[in-house]
């Protein structure tokens, strides 16, 4: 029997996919059977619906109490989860409320008085509401830690542990993330009842869209100019990653001086600045958004044409986590690495399974390295094209 056969008609009506993803096929039956779960699956593989659908099947909207809690490490991720749930509970008696920091707490208290079926929140605000006796944890039977590796890190571990232990003795706990280390798995198991471990790798995902993995050889100091040139490519909508937040801010200053359609996102930006930047990016006013892994946590942005590794990631998990943000939902995409010579050895190890294609930046165009041009001196592969940007530098 397929797990879909076990879902009620209201849930089936809103099913939006021709077939389930591997993590959904694994998680949903186990959650319906009441298992605690530690699940690992790459970014963009359907983890949110893998836990939302069985929760909607098991909670009862007619009961005036909050039955499920989903925790997220960032406000953006919490909002995205709420939007998904709202879409699925429309027309039912189930309700959902977001409880995030930076928002009006009194409004959240008023919403809690209505006993929403499901709440989605960030750890700090959840603790505030519990201490104020506005959120009754003892009623909560289902707890999900989305981006569980971050929620169970040392920064949040004690807070999350206390929230879980205050919930119903009959609770079910689900931990999901794109990466689960041995340490996080050990911590998670201490908070769970005989959990099962589920794991999906990028190799297990069906080949829907065509994702090209490519690289451009460049000097490290030329990467800013190269990003500026790439930002003028027609139709580009890219999320770019750097490893170091200090370098990110230095790059921001250089890019702002040249007025490129590029913006940066870092974790300690003020809430309204992050929201404004993301809104401009989604509208297409910004062509490339540069971030660190922490700042990009939980961002779910549709239609990314490219993921750009400005710096080569430290691990294969980091490479997959970043790269999985393009080529989603059957769309094509490209994962482009700006490769300085000292980074070549590490990059070859990370990308060997993807058979990356070498490309060059020539006269304002991104072309394969074997493209035939009359003049391709090596220096021109590391500088912006002679099209849009030359005029700006005069």
Kindly state whether residues 225 and 335 are assigned to the same domain.
yes
Kindly state whether residues 225 and 266 are assigned to the same domain.
yes
Q: What is the pLDDT of residue 317?
A: 75
Domain with 12 in it: what CATH number? 3.40.50.300
Decide: residue 103, CB within 10 A, 0-12 exposed, 13-18 middle, 19+ buried. middle
Quote the domain boundaries for residue 385.
209-393
Q: Which residues contact 130 (CB under 8 A, 6 or more apart)?
A: 137, 163, 166
Average pLDDT over residues 185-208: 81
Q: Render 77-120 in DSSP notation, one character per residue.
A: HHHHHHHHHHHHHTTSS--EEEE-TTS-HHHHHHHHTT--SEEE
Kindly state whether residues 260 and 143 are assigned to the same domain.
no
* Mean pLDDT of the chain, nearest integer: 83
Q: Which two tokens stand for residue 43?
A: 């970014």
Of 322, 324, 300, 295, the closest CA to residue 81 belongs to 300
Task: Say if residue 1's pLDDT is above 80.
Answer: no
Of 355, 389, 362, 394, the closest CA to residue 378 belongs to 362
Kindly state whether residues 243 and 355 are assigned to the same domain.
yes
Task: Say if residue 79's pLDDT is above 60.
Answer: yes
**Lowest mean pLDDT segment, chosen from 110-119, 151-160, 384-393:** 384-393
- Strand residues in the chain grouped as ranges (E): 37-40, 68-71, 96-99, 118-121, 142-146, 172-177, 196-199, 211-217, 238-241, 262-265, 288-291, 306-309, 333-339, 357-362, 365-368
Kindly state whether residues 39 and 137 are assigned to the same domain.
yes
Kindly state whether residues 193 and 321 are assigned to the same domain.
no
Q: Render 171-193 in DSSP notation, one character per residue.
A: -EEEEEES---HHHHHHHHHTSS
Q: What is the pLDDT of residue 253?
A: 66
Kindly state whether residues 136 and 220 are assigned to the same domain.
no
Q: What is the pLDDT of residue 379?
A: 38
Average pLDDT over residues 269-294: 85
Q: What is the pLDDT of residue 258?
A: 64
- Nearest 5°: CA angle at 177, between 171 and 180? 100
Higher pLDDT: 8 or 332? It is 332
Tens-digit pLDDT profile for residues 126-166: 999 999 999 999 999 999 999 999 899 988 999 999 999 99
Percent of the chain with pLDDT over 90: 46
Percent of the chain with pLDDT over 70: 81
Largest interatomic CA distance in the chain: 73
Q: What is the pLDDT of residue 330?
A: 63
Kindly state whether residues 125 and 226 are assigned to the same domain.
no
As a whole number of angstroms, the distance between CA 207 and CA 330 comes to: 8
Average pLDDT over residues 99-112: 92
Kindly state whether residues 313 and 282 are assigned to the same domain.
yes
Residue pair 227/308 in contact by the 8 Å Cβ criterion: yes
As a whole number of angstroms, the distance between CA 278 and CA 264 comes to: 10
Task: Say if residue 16's pLDDT is above 60.
Answer: no
Average pLDDT over residues 23-31: 92
Segment of 28-37, 225-234, 313-322, 372-381 carrying the highest mean pLDDT = 28-37
**How many other CB atoms sit within 10 Å of the CB of residue 72?**
26
Q: Render 310-356 in DSSP notation, one character per residue.
A: SS--SSHHHHHHHHTTSS-TT--EEEEEEE-GGGHHHHHHHHGGG-P
**Lowest mean pLDDT segment, chosen from 108-112, 353-357, 385-389:** 385-389
Q: Which two tokens stand for residue 370?
A: 């074997």
* Residue 58 DSSP one-character state: H
The domain boundary, picked from 173, 203, 233, lies at 203
Average pLDDT over residues 189-199: 93
As a whole number of angstroms, the distance between CA 131 and CA 121 comes to: 15
The torsion region of residue 147 among left (phi > 0), alpha (psi -120 to 50) and beta comes to left
The domain boundary, picked from 203, 219, 251, lies at 203
Kindly state whether residues 146 and 165 are assigned to the same domain.
yes
Number of domains in the chain: 2
Average pLDDT over residues 191-219: 81
Kindly state whether residues 222 and 190 are assigned to the same domain.
no
The domain boundary, picked from 203, 238, 268, lies at 203
As a whole number of angstroms, the distance between CA 289 and CA 308 comes to: 10
Task: Say if residue 89's pLDDT is above 70.
Answer: yes
Segment of 170-179, 271-280, 311-320, 329-338 carrying the highest mean pLDDT = 170-179
As a whole number of angstroms, the distance between CA 176 and CA 30 comes to: 14
Q: Which two tokens stand for residue 99?
A: 């409880």
Q: Which residues contact 89 (CB under 8 A, 6 or more apart)?
A: 56, 61, 95, 96, 117
Q: What is the pLDDT of residue 321?
A: 77
Task: Say if residue 67's pLDDT is above 90.
Answer: yes
Confidence of residue 204 (pLDDT cuts 50, 70, 90): low
As a whole number of angstroms, the distance between CA 360 and CA 375 comes to: 12
pTM recorded for the entire structure: 0.69
Kindly state whether residues 70 and 89 are assigned to the same domain.
yes
């Amino acid at each position: 029997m397929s797990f879909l056969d076990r879902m009620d008609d209201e849930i089936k009506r809103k099913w939006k996919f021709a077939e389930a993803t591997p993590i959904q096929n694994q998680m949903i039956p186990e959650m319906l059977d009441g298992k605690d779960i530690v699940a690992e699956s790459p970014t963009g593989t359907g983890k949110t619906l893998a836990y939302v659908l069985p929760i909607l099947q098991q909670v009862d909207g007619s009961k005036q109490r909050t039955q499920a809690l989903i925790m997220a490490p960032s406000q953006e991720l919490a909002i995205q989860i709420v939007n998904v749930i709202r879409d699925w509970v429309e027309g039912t008696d189930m309700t959902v409320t977001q409880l995030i920091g930076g928002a009006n707490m009194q409004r959240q208290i008023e919403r809690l008085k209505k006993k929403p079926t499901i709440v989605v929140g960030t750890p700090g605000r959840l603790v505030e509401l519990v201490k104020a006796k506005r959120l009754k944890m003892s009623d909560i039977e289902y707890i999900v830690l989305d981006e569980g590796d971050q929620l169970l890190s040392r920064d949040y571990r004690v807070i999350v542990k206390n929230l879980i232990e205050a919930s119903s003795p009959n609770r079910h706990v689900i931990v999901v993330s794109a990466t689960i280390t041995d340490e996080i798995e050990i911590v998670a198991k201490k908070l769970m009842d005989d959990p099962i471990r589920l794991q999906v790798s990028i190799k297990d995902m069906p080949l829907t869209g065509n994702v090209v993995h490519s690289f451009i050889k460049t000097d490290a100091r030329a990467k800013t100019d190269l990003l500026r040139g790439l930002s003028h490519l027609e139709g580009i909508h890219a999320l770019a990653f750097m490893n170091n937040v200090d370098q990110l801010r230095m790059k921001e200053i250089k890019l702002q001086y040249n007025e490129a359609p590029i913006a940066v996102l870092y974790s300690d930006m003020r809430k309204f600045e992050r929201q404004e930047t993301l809104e401009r990016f989604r509208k297409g006013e910004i062509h490339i958004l540069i971030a660190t892994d922490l700042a990009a946590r939980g961002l779910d942005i549709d239609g990314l044409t490219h993921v750009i590794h400005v710096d080569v990631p430290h691990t294969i998990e980091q490479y997959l986590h970043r790269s999985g943000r393009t080529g989603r939902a059957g769309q094509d995409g490209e994962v482009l690495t700006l490769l300085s010579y000292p980074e070549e050895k590490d990059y070859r190890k990370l990308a060997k399974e993807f058979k990356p294609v070498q490309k060059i930046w020539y006269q304002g165009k991104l072309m394969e390295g074997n493209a035939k041009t009359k003049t391709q001196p090596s220096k021109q592969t590391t500088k912006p094209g002679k099209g849009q940007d030359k005029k700006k530098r005069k």
